Amino acid sequence: MERRTTKTRLSLGLWLGMGMVWLACAATLPAQQPVDLGEVIDQAIQAAGGAEKLSRLTAQTWRAKMTIHEEGQMRTIDARYAVQWPDKLRSDVVGSYTMVRNGDEGWLSQGKTLQDLTTDQLLFLKEDMHVNWLRTLAPLRAKGIRFQSVPPIEVEGRETLGVRVSSSGHRDVVFLFDKETHDVVKTETKSRGLGEEGELANIESFYSKFEKVAGTRVPTRVRIVRDGELFMEIEISDIQRSEKLDPQLFARPKPE
């Protein structure tokens, strides 16, 4: 099997970067009465800070400590991220690289080398960012977003409500909301690493340790499982949310 690079594995964890995870103990619950999926979404939006705040605070920065599980070994990597939803991203991985996406453009800077992202790399980032933009809940009430009920499961012994979210041109994302707190405690979608080929992997992201930031609730831990195997654990800190970041953050980086 081809060895995946650190950059490939970090790319899958970008967002998912955004604050994620509980180890899931899935068990089918007894049949329940049909639920109003729109109401489930509205309750989650309200619990996360309300539609007005979530729609207004479209910028976020944070620090991530990532533990990567690879071929029976563990490696820890530190990084800083900045995002302006829905299409601007900067990731600075300490001692490794800087990656920037600005709309339909993107760059990868490693030491003295600077290169444009390929079409396939940009397509990956667009899809990855779309999933994590949905995770903020702000766009879930936008025109063109469709909902479908999924069977409820338990996550870490807590009951959830499941909603499959679909939008034209993107892969579906399953959201599992805690039935009491309405927090997003798990998402599930299909993806592959940056530069990988072949079949899409099943990516489950579990979110925990929610904190208040600028009047919104955000997770500060994430555990990512890829095709049933532990892939990455992320500790998130120094989270800041705002309306807009300096556009220079998403400009073409300068080689060192």
Confidence check: pLDDT of 29 > 80: no
83-132 pLDDT tens trace? 999 999 999 999 999 999 999 999 999 999 999 999 999 999 999 999 99
H or E element that contains 61: strand 59-70
Contact 194, 187 (CB under 8 A): no
168-212 pLDDT tens trace? 999 999 999 999 999 999 999 999 776 667 789 999 999 999 999
Task: Give the mean pLDDT of 54-72.
Answer: 96
- What is the residue-averaged pLDDT of the chain? 88
* DSSP tag of 94: T
Confidence check: pLDDT of 41 > 90: yes
Q: Which residue has the higher pLDDT, 157 or 101?
A: 101
Q: Are strands 229-242 and 216-226 parallel, antiparallel or unpaired?
A: antiparallel
Task: Give the mean pLDDT of 123-142.
Answer: 94
Q: Where are the domains of the chain?
A: 6-250
88-100 pLDDT tens trace? 999 999 999 999 9
CA distance 226 to 17: 15
Q: 71 pLDDT band (50/70/90 cuts)?
A: confident
Q: 33 pLDDT band (50/70/90 cuts)?
A: low
Dihedral pair phi/psi, residue 202, rounded to 5°:
-90, 120
Confidence check: pLDDT of 17 > 80: no
CA distance 182 to 110: 41
Q: 234 pLDDT band (50/70/90 cuts)?
A: very high
CA distance 139 to 130: 10
Fold held by 6-250: outer membrane lipoprotein receptor (LolB), chain A (2.50.20)
Q: 8 pLDDT band (50/70/90 cuts)?
A: very low
DSSP letter string over 8-51?
HHHHHHSSBTBS--------PPPP-----HHHHHHHHHHHHT-H
**Beta-bridge partners for 95:** none
Between the alpha carbon of residue 205 and those of residues 42, 135, 202, 234, the distances in Å are 21, 11, 10, 11
CA distance 36 to 106: 40
Q: 255 pLDDT band (50/70/90 cuts)?
A: confident
